Amino acid sequence: MHQDRIRCPQLRDRIVDAETAAAHIKDGMTVGMSGFTKAGEAKAVPLALAKRAKTDPLKITLITGASLGHHMDQQLTEAGVLARRMPFQADPALRKAINRGDVMFIDQHLSETVEQLRAEQIHSVDVAIIEATAITENGGIVPTTSVGNSASFSILAEKVIIELNLSADPLWEGVHDIFIPTRRPARTPIPLVATDSRIGMPYIPIPPEKIVGIVLTNEPDSYSEILPPDEGTKAISDHLIRFFLSEVKKGHLTNELLPLQAGIGTIANSVMHGLIDSPFYNLKMYSEVLQDSTIQLFDSGKLLFASAAAVTLSEPVHKAFMENFETYRSKIVLRPQEVSNHPEVVRRLGIIGINTALEFDIYGNVNSTHVGGTHMMNGIGGSGDFARNGYLSIFVTKSLAKDGAISSVVPMVSHVDHTEHDVDILVTDQGLADLRGLAPRERAQTIIANCVHPDYREALLDYHERAKARGGHTPHILEEAVSWHTAFRDHKDMRKAFS
Amino acid sequence: MHQDRIRCPQLRDRIVDAETAAAHIKDGMTVGMSGFTKAGEAKAVPLALAKRAKTDPLKITLITGASLGHHMDQQLTEAGVLARRMPFQADPALRKAINRGDVMFIDQHLSETVEQLRAEQIHSVDVAIIEATAITENGGIVPTTSVGNSASFSILAEKVIIELNLSADPLWEGVHDIFIPTRRPARTPIPLVATDSRIGMPYIPIPPEKIVGIVLTNEPDSYSEILPPDEGTKAISDHLIRFFLSEVKKGHLTNELLPLQAGIGTIANSVMHGLIDSPFYNLKMYSEVLQDSTIQLFDSGKLLFASAAAVTLSEPVHKAFMENFETYRSKIVLRPQEVSNHPEVVRRLGIIGINTALEFDIYGNVNSTHVGGTHMMNGIGGSGDFARNGYLSIFVTKSLAKDGAISSVVPMVSHVDHTEHDVDILVTDQGLADLRGLAPRERAQTIIANCVHPDYREALLDYHERAKARGGHTPHILEEAVSWHTAFRDHKDMRKAFS
C-alpha cells in the first residue's frame, strides 16, 4: 500500500525505521519539522530522538510551523533534546522549561521565520522532518493536515526525512497550494488576490536526492481540546455581531463582511461559532488554522471558502469532517504560513482579524503572551501578522480570569505584544470598545466604560483620573501602573491593589 | 506667470485670496492638508484660518502627511483651531497642548491614515488644502516637495483648495509618481518591484469641478534644522558600517546592500552620512524623507536612486540641490506615503530600516514616542511600517541623554512602540547588538554588553541577574522595572534609582 504513495520509483528503497532516520540528526544541529497547531507534525523521528537522548545526550534547535500534537514538545523537553525552540509552542512542560531559562525560546511572528531562514539571518536548517500523504512522481512532497513552514524547510534543508503517514487520507493531495515568495531584492508580487486564489503547486518541489529516508507511520493527529462556547464567549460573540451589523448599516461592510481570520483557541473559535446564527452570509476565511467553528460554518451554509496553514479539529468534528472530506476539500486550501500570514496578502485582502488577548490596558495595548509580564504562555503566533496589516484588528478576552481575582483590563499591560497603534476593536463579555480614530485619553474612556468588569471599573476610572491630573498624551502613574500585577503575584488577587 | 501653471483653462477664474478659500472650512470639519516633515505644506489658508479663529472661533480635525514647516502647527494651536490632529507632528507648542489633553492626537503608522479614510473607518475629509507646483490641462494637481497623503486627500475630499506656490521650481513636475491602491476586497498587487519603479501618474487626478479655489503663494518651505554629525553619531555610524561589512563577508549582503530607509532627524541622517566614507556603492534608498545625507550620498557617487514621500533639506544643502535640480531630479521619485511605507512594498524590496529610538530596554523593546512613558514627543511616524516589514530592523540612539542623567537603555521601557519581535539590531555610540535568533535572556546579555554606557552597565546587569532569579521567559522585577524613570522624574537623574 505504501508503494502507491511513493510514486517516485527511485525513492522506494529509502524506507528506513525512525531510529535510522534520526541518526542523520547530530548534536548541535538545527532541525525544521512539520507541524502547525497540532496538525501534521512528524510523529516518529522526534520520538526516536528523545529515546536516543537517554543514552546519547544531544541538543538541537527545533523550528516548526507552530505548536505540536501528541505531547511531542513535552517528550523532547523531558529528554533534554531542546536547546532552542522557535517560533511557537503551547506545551505545559516546555513552557516551564522556557520560563526556567532551560530552553531558549524565540517567539516570532509566524510569517517571519522562514523569511529569516531564506535570508540566512538565522542558522540554516540541517535536516527537515516532514510528514507527508504521498511523494509524487518527481519526488515532490504532498503534506498532510498542515503546510506551516514545511515547504521552505524542505527546500532550504540539506537533508529531508519524510514521515509517510499511511493514516492520512489520500484525498489531502490537491488541498495544498505551495507558493514560495522569490528571493529579495528581485521579489515579484505575490499574485494572490482572493481567499480561494491558487497560485502554487499541490506539492513541495525538491530534488529527490535530498530525501535521505522515508519513515512509515500510521498515527492520526491528536485532537484539539477546544472548549464549547459558554456564557462569556457567547456574550463576546454577540457584541461583535452587533458591531458588524452597525458597520453594515453604515455602509462600511456588506453582509458578506470581509475575509475573516480567527486566532487559535476556545475564545476565537467560539466567536466564529456565533456567526452561525448571524445574518451574515457568503463568508470567507483567510486564517492560520481551520478549527471546529470553520466546519460548523460550512455546515450551516454561511461559509463559502476557507484558506489556512493547517486544520485542527476536536474528535467529533474531525470524524464528521473526514467522513465528508470529498465535499469539504474543494472549499479549503492549505498554504505555507508565510503566505497565509503574509503582510502583503493580509493588507490586500482586507482581513478582519480576531485574536485573543491575555490582557489589555486602558489605552488598548495588548499582552498576548506573558503571564504577570514575565512568564511565557504560548507565543505571539500570527496575531501580529493580522493585527498590524488587517482591515480591522479585533482582540477578544473575557473580562475576568481566576474567578475574578484577575481583571483582563489593567492600568498598564505588564508586557506589550500589540501596541495601541495596531488595535482597533476590543471586546469582552462586558461590551465592545471601538477605538478607531480616538486619542489615548478617549480610548481609555471607551475601554473603561465598555470592557471592564464592574468589580474593577471604578478602580480603573480612579486610576485614569489621577493619571490625567499629572498630564501627558498617555497619562500614567508609573509607580502604580503594574501594581495590579504585583498584587496578584503577592496576594493572589488584583483587587488587593486598591481595596 | 501663474497662468502658465494653471493649464486647465476652466480653472483660471478660481483664483481667490486665502481668506475666501478658508471660508469653505467650517467649525467641526475635517481638513486634509498637504505637508510631510516640513515639506510642501499649505502655507496661506491655514494661517487665514488661525487669523479668523481670533474673532470667529472654530475647531477642526487636521490630518496631514506628517509634520509641518513654518511653525504652522504652533500657530494653529495658539489660535485654538485644532480639536484633533493626526497622524504625526513635531511642534513644541502643539506637543504641549497634546500633553495637556487640549488637542486629541491620534498617533498612527504613516501608511495607515488614508487606508482608514478610504474605508471610512475614520471621519472623511471635508476639505483638502494642497500645495501645488502646477495644475495640468485636465485639472490634475502637480505637488511640490512632498506627496505625503495629498493624493488621497484630494481624491476623497468633497472640496479641494489649491495653494499654487509660484516659488516652486516647475521642474518638480515629473518627479512625483502618484499611485493609489485599489479598494478592498478587490485590490490587486502594487506593481512596484524596485526603488525606481514608476507605477503611477505624474499628477493627482481629480475632477476639476472639485477645485473650489486656487490661492497663489510664493514662499518656499522652511529648512530642516538638522544637526551635523558629532562624535556620538559618528560612533553609531561606524558600528553599523562594521556590522554591514561583516554581513557582506558572510555573504548575507553584497556591497550594494539593500534599499535603505532612514528615519527623520539628526541621528538617522548622520548614520546615512557615514556611508559616504564606507566601501559600499550603488546604494538605493526607499525611504520616507530625503534629508541632507541623501544629497551628500548622491554627490559622493555612492547613491544611485532615492524614493521617498518628501524632500526636507537644510538651507545650504537645499541651495545646492536646487541649483543642480536638473541632475538630481532623474534620480529621485516622490510617492504617496501609503506607497513609500506600504508593508507590501517594504517586505518585497527587503528594506534595511534605520530608525531612532528614544529608549530601548534590555529585551529590545523600543520606545519611540513617549518621554517618561506619558508625554508625547513627535509620534511613531513610519518607523513601524519599516521595522515590522523590512529585511533588517535597526534602531539607533545615543547611550546617554541629559548629560548622563538618562540612560537610553533601561530595565523596561516606559512605553512600547516596537516590540522585541520587530527589533533586529540596536546601535548606540557604545556598540551594536545583533538580536536575530536570540531569546530574551540572550538579548539582554548582548544588549547590556554592547549598547549600555559604562555608568549604567553594572546596574543593568544587576537588575537582570536579580530578575532571572525570579524566573520567566522575560525576567523582570515589576516593582522596579520603571524605577529609573521615576528616579529621573523625581530627582532629575536615573542613577538615583541605584546609587
Omega before residue A185 within 30° of 0, cis: yes
Residues A235, A239, A240, A242, CA torsion sign: positive
Q: Which among A109, A419, A425 is the top mutation candidate for probing chain B, defined by the most B β-carbons within 10 Å of its own β-carbon?
A: A419
- Which amino acid would we find at residue A95? R
What is chain A's mean pLDDT, rounded?
97
How many Å apart are CA B130 and CA B147, to the nearest integer?
Answer: 10
C-alpha cell at A380: 505571539
ipTM tops 0.95: yes
Instruction: Say if the Cβ atoms of A187 and B350 lie within 8 Å.
Output: yes
Q: What is the pLDDT confidence band of residue B1, given thresholds at 50, 70 and 90? A: low
Q: What is the DSSP letter of B411?
A: S
Pick from A160, A259, A233, A246: nearest CA to A203 = A160
Provide the terminal-to-terminal Cα distance of chain B, rounded to the nearest Å. Answer: 69
A412 pLDDT above the threshold of 70: yes
pLDDT tens column, A305-359: 999 999 999 999 999 999 999 999 999 999 999 999 999 999 999 999 999 999 9
Q: What is the pLDDT confidence band of residue A1, given thresholds at 50, 70 and 90? A: low
Neighbours of B37 (CB within 10 A): 32
Pick from A257, A229, A226: nearest CA to A241 = A257
Instruction: Say if the Cβ atoms of B101 and A471 lie within 8 Å.
Output: yes
The answer to whether residue A288 is catalytic is yes
Instruction: Say if the Cβ atoms of B373 and A105 lie within 8 Å.
Output: no
pLDDT tens column, A242-295: 999 999 999 999 999 999 999 998 999 999 999 999 999 999 999 999 999 999
Instruction: Say if the Cβ atoms of B349 and A185 lie within 8 Å.
Output: yes
CA distance A99 to chain B (A): 4
Lookup result for grid cell 477664474: B13
User: Of the candidates B252, B414, B471, which has its C-beta nearest A120's C-beta?
Assistant: B252
pLDDT tens column, A21-65: 999 999 999 999 999 999 999 999 999 999 999 999 999 999 999
Q: List Cβ neighbours of B19 (8 Å cut-off, separation of 6 or more).
A: B48, B51, B52
Q: What is the pLDDT of residue B226?
A: 86
Residue B109: closest CA among chain A residues belongs to which residue?
Answer: A421
Residue B214 β-bridge partners: B15, B162
Report, as an integer, the average pLDDT of A376-404. 97
- Which amino acid would we find at residue B266? T
C-alpha cell at B408: 537610553
User: Of the candidates B98, B107, B436, which has its C-beta nearest A121's C-beta?
Assistant: B436
CA distance A351 to chain B (A): 9
Report how far apart, in Å, the C-alpha atoms of A130 and of each of A87, A146, A179 are.
17, 10, 17
CB pairs under 8 A between A and B: 230
pLDDT tens column, B421-448: 999 999 999 999 999 999 999 999 999 9
Q: What is the pLDDT of residue A2?
A: 81
Q: What is the pLDDT confidence band of residue B51, given thresholds at 50, 70 and 90? A: very high
User: Of the candidates B342, B343, B471, which has its C-beta nearest A100's C-beta?
Assistant: B471
Residues of B in contact with A352 (CB under 8 A): none
Residues of B in contact with A473 (CB under 8 A): 98-99, 105, 107, 370, 374-376
Residues of B in contact with A260 (CB under 8 A): none
Q: List Cβ neighbours of B272 (8 Å cut-off, separation of 6 or more).
A: B260, B262, B291, B293, B294, B297, B354
User: Of the candidates B101, B350, B476, which has its C-beta nearest A184's C-beta?
Assistant: B350
Instruction: Say if the Cβ atoms of B184 and A258 lie within 8 Å.
Output: yes
Instruction: Say if the Cβ atoms of A344 and B349 lie within 8 Å.
Output: no
CA distance B225 to chain A (A): 25
Q: Which among A105, A123, A180, A421 is the top mutation candidate for probing chain B, defined by the most B β-carbons within 10 Å of its own β-carbon?
A: A421
pLDDT tens column, B329-379: 999 999 999 999 999 999 999 999 999 999 999 999 999 999 999 999 999
Residue B353 β-bridge partners: B261, B393
User: What is the β-pairing status of strands B82-86 and B104-105?
Assistant: parallel
C-alpha cell at B282: 550603488
Instruction: Say if the Cβ atoms of B121 and A370 lie within 8 Å.
Output: no
Report yes or no: B444 and B363 within 8 Å, Cβ to Cβ: yes
Instruction: Say if the Cβ atoms of B439 and A84 lie within 8 Å.
Output: yes
CA distance B16 to chain A (A): 33
Instruction: Say if the Cβ atoms of A474 and B370 lie within 8 Å.
Output: yes
Residues of A in contact with B484 (CB under 8 A): none
pTM, two decimal places: 0.98
CA distance B3 to chain A (A): 40
Determine which helix (DSSP H) or strand (DSSP E) holds B30, and give its type and residue range.
strand B30-33
Residues of A in contact with B437 (CB under 8 A): 86, 106, 116, 121-123
Instruction: Say if the Cβ atoms of A473 and B99 lie within 8 Å.
Output: yes
Q: What is the pLDDT confidence band of residue A226, given thresholds at 50, 70 and 90? A: confident
B284: three-class secondary structure by DSSP: strand
Determine which helix (DSSP H) or strand (DSSP E) holds B64, and give its type and residue range.
none
Which of A163, A288, A338, A359 is flagged as catalytic?
A: A288
Report how far apart, in Å, the C-alpha atoms of A31 and of each of A11, A214, B114, B364 are.
22, 16, 43, 26
User: Of the candidates B186, B349, B471, which has its C-beta nearest A99's C-beta?
Assistant: B471
pLDDT tens column, A431-470: 999 999 999 999 999 999 999 999 999 999 999 999 999 9
How many Å apart are CA B269 and CA B278, to the nearest integer?
Answer: 15
Which of B131, B288, B359, B420 is flagged as catalytic?
A: B288
Instruction: Say if the Cβ atoms of B258 and A185 lie within 8 Å.
Output: yes
Report, as an integer, the average pLDDT of A95-116. 98
A14: three-class secondary structure by DSSP: helix
User: Of the candidates A104, A344, A374, which has its C-beta nearest B476's C-beta?
Assistant: A374
